[in-house]
């Protein structure tokens, strides 16, 4: 089964592909020659995921799914949240985003946080939404070379490693995205 993942982030696409059963094939925006950013104007993570999936369905008439993810830090009242990818500016620099988080948390003792992923699936004239959350801690210094985004500074609960210190298989056993995708895959396996 081929299904379009409304992303141009090849790291994210590889992470999702590694979770899927063999009979699923992921296409990305690159595969349909879509090179522009899809609008993300919703004030919520769920709204952005739905907006991206609807954009693809309306413009390309392709069954698809889209996700949006946010890092929600308790001491920062849920920031960076819906603007996680652009927290330090429109250039979407992972390093700048992490530096801003660490700067804002410099004098905070509460470093608890969570990653939230919401997936909107447009299939068979329906839209379904799946959510995954992983709780953890923001480290004082980044650790690890793997992953992307905030992975070097986020350590899931009861783990002892940042996401960036994990192999992809290890990360998929903990991650917010893996939890949301597991729900979507279960649905697709039951209803395809």
Which range is least confidently modeled, 12-21, 62-71, 145-154, 166-175? Answer: 12-21
Sign of CA dihedral 166, 5, 120, 127: negative
Share of the chain above pLDDT 90, in %: 74
pLDDT score of 2: 86
Supply the mean pLDDT for the chain: 93
Residue 168 CB coordination number (10 Å) = 15
pLDDT score of 192: 66
Residue 22 φ then ψ, to 5°? -60, -30
The residues that are catalytic are 68
pLDDT score of 24: 82
Give the fold, CATH level 3, of 2-191.
Answer: Maf protein (3.90.950)
Provide the strand spans (E) within 16-168. 25-27, 64-73, 112-123, 126-138, 154-156
Across the range 6-24, mean pLDDT stands at 83
What are the strands of the beta sheet with 64-73, ordered from one edge? 25-27, 2-5, 64-73, 112-123, 126-138, 154-156
pLDDT band at 13 (very low <50, low <70, confident <90, very high): confident
pLDDT score of 37: 86
Per-residue pLDDT of 131-176, as tens digits, reads 999 999 999 999 999 988 999 999 999 999 999 999 988 998 888 9
The C-alpha atoms of residue 52 and residue 59 are separated, in whole angstroms, by 11
The pTM is what?
0.90
Pinpoint the alpha helices (H) of 78-167. Answer: 94-104
Q: Tally helices (H) and strands (E) across the chain.
A: 5, 6
Per-residue pLDDT of 106-126, as tens digits, reads 999 999 999 999 999 999 999
Domain boundaries, the chain: 2-191
pLDDT score of 46: 97
pLDDT score of 17: 84
Q: Is 36 exposed, middle or buried (0-12, 13-18, 19+ CB in 10 A)?
A: exposed
pLDDT band at 10 (very low <50, low <70, confident <90, very high): confident
Q: Which two tokens stand for residue 75?
A: 């001491």
What letter does residue 70 receive in the DSSP assignment? E
pLDDT band at 190 (very low <50, low <70, confident <90, very high): confident
């Amino acid at each position: 089964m081929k299904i379009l993942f409304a992303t141009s982030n090849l790291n994210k696409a590889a992470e999702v592909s590694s979770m899927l059963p063999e009979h699923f094939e992921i296409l990305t925006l690159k595969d349909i020659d879509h090179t522009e950013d899809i609008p993300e104007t919703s004030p919520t993570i769920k709204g952005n995921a739905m907006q991206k999936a609807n954009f693809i369905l309306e413009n390309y008439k392709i069954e698809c799914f889209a996700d949006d993810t946010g890092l929600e830090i308790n001491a920062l009242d849920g920031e960076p949240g819906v603007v996680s990818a652009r927290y330090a500016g429109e250039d979407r620099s992972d390093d700048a985003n992490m530096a801003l988080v660490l700067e804002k948390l410099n004098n905070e003792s509460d470093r608890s946080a969570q990653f939230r992923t919401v997936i909107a699936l447009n299939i068979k004239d329906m839209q379904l939404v799946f959510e995954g959350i992983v709780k953890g801690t923001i480290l004082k210094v980044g650790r690890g070379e793997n992953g992307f985004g905030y992975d070097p500074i986020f350590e899931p609960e009861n783990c002892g490693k940042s996401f960036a210190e994990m192999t992809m298989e290890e990360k998929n056993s903990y991650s917010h995205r893996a939890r949301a995708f597991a729900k979507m895959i279960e649905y697709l396996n039951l209803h395809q």
